[in-house]
Amino acid sequence: MDVFQPIPIDVIQINEKSVVDLYVRQDDRLVSFLEKGGIFTKEHLGDLDRYGVKKVFVREREKAALAEYVNSFSDRILTDPSVPSKVKAATFYISSVYAVKKAFDDPNEERIEEIKKTLKPMLVSIVKNEVLLSDLFSITEYDYSTYTHSVNVGIYATSLAVTYYKSDSTIRREELERLSYGYFLHDIGKSKIPLSILRKKGKLSREEWVIMKKHPEWGYSILMETGHLTDEAAYISMQHHERPDGSGYPSGMTDIHPCARICTIADIYEALTSVRPYKSAMKPFDALKLIQEEALTEFDLDLLRTLIRLLGPQADHMQVSHQRT
């Protein structure tokens, strides 16, 4: 039985052949919209717009072909100032997931450089133009995998860092850009974890959890060995599960780099609000409340306030208190 996944319409290029079969939802079933090899025209786009259709569906087994297709023209889309923000965001998202997946499959210098090449045009746009953030946030709702989680956290953490340090003249745009690579690669150490553990739907056993908790150290080693990223990127991978009270892992350290704390907030928020094989998604407001209860420093609270401003309506006008509960 075929499994289908939703994709944003915006990544389908006008007057180009579709590399996969495209489907749309009609009532409670999926119906064929455009067969593989068919030309996607302005008329097709007009039909979808007329009915308010924002996404089409592809077979799970064809997602790799679609991702390669999107990646093939991503440079042109992401660097063209005339392309609408929402089209750039959709293109960036799918090409980023594609690049991250390749890096996880084979985490070497070439793959790290490929990720930098894929991410850079959009990261520059994020730093320069915050209007893109709403488009990126609207895309992070799609299917869960280790790769989509990494990209979602990368988007949240980059946005958080850019906004938090916006008024700090000592932090240059280039520094934020370099940090961003670390956010998108924070879980690269999971490339060494057996798939039987990584994809397990139920609770991990004690032995499996011991292995899972090694991924920050493995990520640090991978990023340091490639030598193509800053030390801060490696610190993000090593420390994003550490906690200021020493209750985190892998070292139980309390002196945590600020860039890693930014990743931690983004990581927790994304994990709480996404659907996982073993849990349903938490509403943004409830997730933010839970993060506030666990925020251990004033820095954490400042980051949480920044995240709330970024999320806007999703945060439901939540107020962050200085009081500890």
The predicted pLDDT at position 133 comes to: 74
Q: Is a pLDDT exceeding 70 seen at residue 193? A: yes
How many angstroms separate the CA atoms of 285 and 84, rounded?
A: 30
Nearest to residue 70, comparing CAs of 12, 140, 20? Answer: 12
Q: Read off the pLDDT of each residue in 244-257 and give the average, rounded to a whole number.
A: 93
Predicted confidence band at 263 (pLDDT cuts at 50, 70, 90)?
Answer: very high
Instruction: Please tell me the pTM assigned to this model.
Output: 0.86
Share of the chain above pLDDT 90, in %: 39
Q: Read off the pLDDT of each residue in 295-309 and give the average, rounded to a whole number.
A: 89
Q: Is 100 helix (H, G, I), strand (E, B) or coil?
A: helix
- Domains in the chain, start-ordered, CATH in brackets? 1-61 (no CATH), 73-315 (1.10.3210.10)
The predicted pLDDT at position 176 comes to: 85
Share of the chain above pLDDT 70, in %: 92
Nearest to residue 295, comparing CAs of 275, 257, 270, 269? Answer: 269
The predicted pLDDT at position 28 comes to: 85
Q: Is a pLDDT exceeding 60 seen at residue 71? A: yes
Cβ atoms < 10 Å from Cβ of 253: 16
Predicted confidence band at 325 (pLDDT cuts at 50, 70, 90)?
Answer: very low
Name the average pLDDT for the chain.
Answer: 86
The predicted pLDDT at position 83 comes to: 84
Alpha helices in the chain (DSSP H): 42-50, 63-72, 74-79, 85-105, 109-128, 132-139, 146-164, 173-184, 195-198, 206-212, 215-226, 231-239, 258-273, 284-294, 298-311
In residues, how long is the chain? Answer: 325
The predicted pLDDT at position 130 comes to: 59
pLDDT in tens, 194-246: 989 988 888 899 999 999 999 999 999 999 988 778 888 899 999 999 999 99
Q: Read off the pLDDT of each residue in 63-84 and give the average, rounded to a whole number.
A: 85
pLDDT in tens, 86-144: 888 888 888 888 889 888 888 888 888 888 888 888 777 777 765 577 788 777 755 56
Give yes or no for a contact between 78 and 88, defined as CB atoms under 8 angstroms apart. yes
The predicted pLDDT at position 72 comes to: 86
